[in-house]
Amino acid sequence: MVSRKRRIRVVFDTNVVVGAVLSRNPDSANMAVLKLWFILRQIEVVVSQEIVSEYLDVLRRLRVAERLIEQFDKRLSAGKSVTWVNLGPRVVASRDPSDDAFLSTAKVGRVAYLVTNDRDLLELDDKQRRKLRFQIVTPQLLLAQFAKK
């Protein structure tokens, strides 16, 4: 296990969490990046109340077993490899306004990566990206970064 100071700070978009939970492939990229967090503890996940509410709401709408949702919520609340932040002024950059909470959380939480499969985030123009102090990557690209280490 990596010490808290040495963990890579990331924000997971909801589609990564849902992709991992619903995946039938235990080796999927979505599942692999979540394992870096909750098993290997090489990642420090940064969340805000708004993001956690979205995670739980979407999992419930998809009819994920309540037991799994409660376990996930407990994992986020326990804080062993989770950092909670309070959002201030919003970053407004994505074509989809609902993505701005993820951008804002990543900024406030001083993360290295925002991990997503969302094209609206992945295709931010260069002008918007230069304002951010973190990279927006797919789960596959994050795994490639870890493989280099």
82-109 tens-digit pLDDT: 999 998 766 665 566 678 899 999 999 9
CA dihedral 15, 46, 115, 24 (to 10 degrees): -50
Q: Residue 11: is its pLDDT beyond 90?
A: yes
Q: Residue 15: is its pLDDT beyond 60?
A: yes
Domain boundaries, the chain: 4-148
Alpha-carbon span 98 to 110, nearest angstrom: 20
Mean pLDDT (the chain) is 89
User: For 4-148, which CATH superfamily applies?
Assistant: 5'-nuclease (3.40.50.1010)
pLDDT score, position 148: 78
Residues in the chain: 149
50-59 tens-digit pLDDT: 999 999 999 9
114-134 tens-digit pLDDT: 999 999 899 888 877 788 889
User: If you average pLDDT over residues 15-35, what whole number do you get?
Assistant: 93
Q: Residue 26: is its pLDDT beyond 90?
A: no
Alpha-carbon span 127 to 131, nearest angstrom: 7
| Spatial contact of 69 and 56, defined as CB atoms under 8 Å apart | yes
pTM of the model: 0.91
**CA 108 to each of CA 2, 7, 55, 134, 139: distance values in angstroms, whole numbers, following the listed order:** 23, 17, 19, 11, 21
Tokens of residue 119, six digits: 């094209």
Tokens of residue 83, six digits: 């950092």
Alpha-carbon span 97 to 120, nearest angstrom: 10
